[in-house]
Amino acid sequence: MCGIVGYIGVKPVKQILIDGLRELEYRGYDSAGIAVLQNNTFSLFKAVGKLVNLEEKAKNFETEGFSIGIGHTRWATHGKPTELNAHPHLGENSYVVHNGIIENYQELKASLMAQGVQFLSQTDTEVIVHLFEHHLKTASDAFDAFKKTLVQLEGAYAILLINSNESGTIFFAKHGSPMIIGRNEAGEILFGSSDAALIGKCHEVIYLEDGHYGYGSAKGISLFDQNHQPVALRFSPLAENKLSAQKEGYRFFMEKEIYEQSRVLADTLMGRLRDESVYFEEIDPELFQGINEIKLCACGTSYHAAMVASYLFERHAKIKTSVEIASEFRYREPFLTQDTLFVVISQSGETADTLESLKMAKKFGLKTMVICNVDNSSMVRLADASILTRAGIEKGVASTKAFATQVCVLWMLSLSLAGERHTLEASEIQNQIHLLRTLPSTVTVDSALHEQLRRLSKRYLHGHGFFFIGRDVFFPLALEGALKLKEISYLHAEGYPSGEMKHGPIALADPKLFTIALLPQHKLYDKTKSNIEELSARDSTICSISPLDFDKADDHIRTKPSEHYMCEFFEMMVVLQLLSMEIAIRLGNDVDMPRNLAKSVTVE
Ligand code: G6P
């Protein structure tokens, strides 16, 4: 979602804010802005669109000596992506940046307007700065006004606020959206909605908890909890390496991340495979004691990984497994039993619906676990146990390597559970461990295959829609293939279980309906083949993906022969990712920052 940065110190503030925003830009990029306060004077720059537009506007602006500043890159929730709606938002002499949603902003706005306050934007955020200034009239000082403001806000927020009478202070608050404060030996203080914005600039950071608020200045940081009690500052070291991904010659981060899958899968496997068992050092086997059911919960691509796991957990570990979309789970009054392990899956560890579902499960007293790519994220800090997927920073909004590593971890977990529960023959576990070791080579991109997909993509730019079909774990892979395509090409695509097509969707079949058919050799080959033939008979245009020849298809992508359907799964995953990317590139789209999307959805 949106990104926030803040800075207190003597270095040129503009560059620090823009560098930080650049690290966060992939999360939201419909507009950006910075506000700098030096010697009681504000300088403000805002621009619609990507960060380069803001850089251009602020190109002649420089500061010397001490100053403070706040910056924001936006993914619109309330109000269109215009300059007026871009953050920072101004009151009379204060500016605010905010991530999250203020749920009661309409009533607050109405009451302020009744008192003569004028609003410029359509955002929920603007209410914060006006409310602050309203309280400033009667409060003992600015911090008191800030506290009074927070008490009235409902919803989720991470906030930075500056006021011209307090020229060296940034007020901050966190409730439901992430906020991190860092400091370094030079005495500078930085704020960020993710540590990615602070890496290389700070050596230690505090990950704020919900309800935390306070202020920072050249003198240091004052932090309070939701009961208004002072909180001791507990810093954690921050990685010094600037891990920030560079494109390294690839056209898009997405392409680089697809090619990186081989290396990151090797990292995911590292130290976790023994000859006869899978071992997660970070998991205490006690976690699974007394557990008779696993409930997996996630959003988006992570939800598709969860669906794959539901097949593998039941098949390998003979444990009842259910899958939940987090935004549904939260409000459907689920019936939960204490013998359930609640597992959330999230690339970012910050997705609002998944995080809230995790909180619900904890509140209900369930044991919890997270499978996540970001250490120190909110979910990792909250869950009883966590397994890190080790995909590295994923910048492309359309998830690729994060999905690959999630499925890899879940496959390993299914084998680890099978070992504990004695539900698979030892020889079968060994065989699958051997297959897991081959994954890095399975997903290595073959340049001839990539070229074939690039050429093929030109035939799939029109039509009235795509169906991605598959059975078993290839059904969630079909869903993921369809999601990839629609995310970056803006073409209509649906994933379907192959056997379900005849129950309605086949009515759409005609030459302009493109079917991308996943036809693995080692899982329900004949059944899937018949389903594809049914579509072929109705003249749908078919692109089949299989290691075996298939003469009823218009186009055929031949995958390598392999021993097991999970290896076929990973190879087909790469094919789907590349095909979507090549279609989107031909359509002229920005593959890394597709319209309307955000990398980390921290609002519900
Ligand atoms: C957003 C992203 C998706 C992602 C989903 C869940 O919609 O665009 O790529 O799958 O959020 O994110 P998470 O970080 O929880 O895996």
> Which residues line ligand 1 at a C-beta cut-off of 6 Å?
299-302, 346-348, 351, 354, 397, 399, 597, 599-601
Contact in structure between 296 and 345 (CB atoms under 8 Å) = yes
In this prediction, residue 178 carries a pLDDT of 85
Distance CA 454, CA 336 (A): 47
Protein residue with its CA nearest to atom 8 in ligand 1? 599
* Cα dihedral: 603, 380, 400, 511 (round 10): -50
Mean pLDDT of all residues in 69-90: 88
pLDDT tier at 216 (50, 70, 90 boundaries)?
very high
**Is 202 marked active-site?**
no
Protein residue with its CA nearest to atom 15 in ligand 1? 346
Report the SS3 class of residue 455: helix
The minimum-distance atom of ligand 1 relative to the CA of 399 is 9
Nearest one of 131, 142, 138, 75 to 106, comparing CA atoms: 131
Cβ atoms within 10 A of the Cβ of 25, count? 21
Distance CA 456, CA 419 (A): 43
Mean pLDDT of all residues in 52-62: 95
Give 65 Cα–ligand 1 centroid separation in angstroms.
Answer: 40
Distance CA 272, CA 269 (A): 5
Give 345 Cα–ligand 1 centroid separation in angstroms.
Answer: 10
Give 258 Cα–ligand 1 centroid separation in angstroms.
Answer: 17
Mean pLDDT of all residues in 561-581: 97
Indicate whether 33 pLDDT > 80: yes
The minimum-distance atom of ligand 1 relative to the CA of 402 is 16
Mean pLDDT of all residues in 523-542: 91
Instruction: List, by residue range, all CATH 3.60.20.10 domains of the chain.
Output: 3-240
Mean pLDDT of all residues in 511-518: 92
Instruction: Dump pLDDT digits (tens) for 294-333.
Output: 999 999 999 999 999 999 999 999 999 999 999 999 999 9
Type of residue at 422: H
Kindly state the percentage of the chain with pLDDT values over 90.
Answer: 81
In this prediction, residue 244 carries a pLDDT of 47
Tokens of 457: 């993509």
Contact in structure between 128 and 149 (CB atoms under 8 Å) = yes
Distance CA 412, CA 428 (A): 13
* C-alpha distances out from residue 295 to 52, 326, 548, Å: 43, 11, 36
Distance CA 453, CA 115 (A): 62
Contact in structure between 242 and 376 (CB atoms under 8 Å) = no
Instruction: List, by residue range, all CATH 3.40.50.10490 domains of the chain.
Output: 246-444, 445-589
Indicate whether 206 pLDDT > 90: yes
Give 557 Cα–ligand 1 centroid separation in angstroms.
Answer: 28
Single out the catalytic residue among 2, 202, 299, 567. Answer: 2
Q: Judge residue 599's burial from the number of C-beta atoms within 10 Å of its C-beta, 0-12 exposed, 13-18 middle, 19 or more buried.
A: buried
Protein residue with its CA nearest to atom 4 in ligand 1? 300
Mean pLDDT of all residues in 153-171: 94
Q: How far is CA 2 from the centre of its chain?
A: 12
Single out the catalytic residue among 46, 174, 486, 599. Answer: 599
* C-alpha distances out from residue 139 to 134, 147, 439, 579, Å: 9, 10, 62, 59
Indicate whether 57 pLDDT > 50: yes
In this prediction, residue 173 carries a pLDDT of 98
Give 149 Cα–ligand 1 centroid separation in angstroms.
Answer: 31
**Is 59 marked active-site?**
no
Nearest one of 103, 130, 101 to 114, comparing CA atoms: 130
Transcribe 269-332 into DSSP letters: HTTTB-SS-B--TT--GGGGTT--EEEEEE-HHHHHHHHHHHHHHHHHH--EEEEEEHHHHTTS
Protein residue with its CA nearest to atom 7 in ligand 1? 300
CATH architecture of the domain formed by 246-444:
3-Layer(aba) Sandwich (3.40)
Give 423 Cα–ligand 1 centroid separation in angstroms.
Answer: 33
The minimum-distance atom of ligand 1 relative to the CA of 398 is 9
Instruction: Dump pLDDT digits (tens) for 333-374.
Output: 999 999 999 999 999 999 999 999 999 999 999 999 999 998
Instruction: For ligand 1, pick from 2, 346, 347 the residue to mutate: most ligand atoms within 8 Å of CB.
Output: 347
The helix (run of H) or strand (run of E) holding residue 369 is: strand 367-372
Indicate whether 245 pLDDT > 60: no
Instruction: For ligand 1, pick from 400, 595, 600 the residue to mutate: most ligand atoms within 8 Å of CB.
Output: 600
Nearest one of 80, 60, 73, 69 to 23, comparing CA atoms: 73
Instruction: Dump pLDDT digits (tens) for 423-479.
Output: 999 999 999 999 999 999 999 999 999 999 999 999 999 878 999 999 999 999 999
Instruction: For ligand 1, pick from 296, 301, 406, 603 the residue to mutate: most ligand atoms within 8 Å of CB.
Output: 301
Q: How far is CA 230 from the centre of its chain?
A: 32
Residue position matching structure tokens 């359309």: 398
The minimum-distance atom of ligand 1 relative to the CA of 302 is 16
Sort residue 342 into left (φ over 0), alpha (ψ -120 to 50) or beta. Answer: beta
Report CA Rg, the chain: 25
Distance CA 449, CA 442 (A): 13
The minimum-distance atom of ligand 1 relative to the CA of 597 is 8
Protein residue with its CA nearest to atom 3 in ligand 1? 300
Indicate whether 192 pLDDT > 80: yes
Q: How many Cα atoms are found within 13 Å in the side-chain-facing hemisphere of 231?
A: 20
pLDDT tier at 76 (50, 70, 90 boundaries)?
confident
Instruction: Dump pLDDT digits (tens) for 574-598.
Output: 999 999 999 999 999 999 988 888 7
Distance CA 6, CA 69 (A): 6
Distance CA 467, CA 469 (A): 6
Q: Which CATH superfamily is domain 445-589 in?
A: Glucose-6-phosphate isomerase like protein; domain 1 (3.40.50.10490)
Mean pLDDT of all residues in 184-209: 92
Distance CA 514, CA 458 (A): 13
Distance CA 166, CA 172 (A): 14
Give 115 Cα–ligand 1 centroid separation in angstroms.
Answer: 41
Q: Which CATH superfamily is domain 3-240 in?
A: Aminohydrolase, N-terminal nucleophile (Ntn) domain (3.60.20.10)
Give 218 Cα–ligand 1 centroid separation in angstroms.
Answer: 37
pLDDT tier at 246 (50, 70, 90 boundaries)?
low
Give 489 Cα–ligand 1 centroid separation in angstroms.
Answer: 17
Cβ atoms within 10 A of the Cβ of 65, count? 10
Type of residue at 352: A
Average pLDDT of every residue of the chain:
93
pLDDT tier at 241 (50, 70, 90 boundaries)?
low
Q: Judge residue 64's burial from the number of C-beta atoms within 10 Å of its C-beta, 0-12 exposed, 13-18 middle, 19 or more buried.
A: exposed
Q: Judge residue 223's burial from the number of C-beta atoms within 10 Å of its C-beta, 0-12 exposed, 13-18 middle, 19 or more buried.
A: buried
Indicate whether 242 pLDDT > 60: no
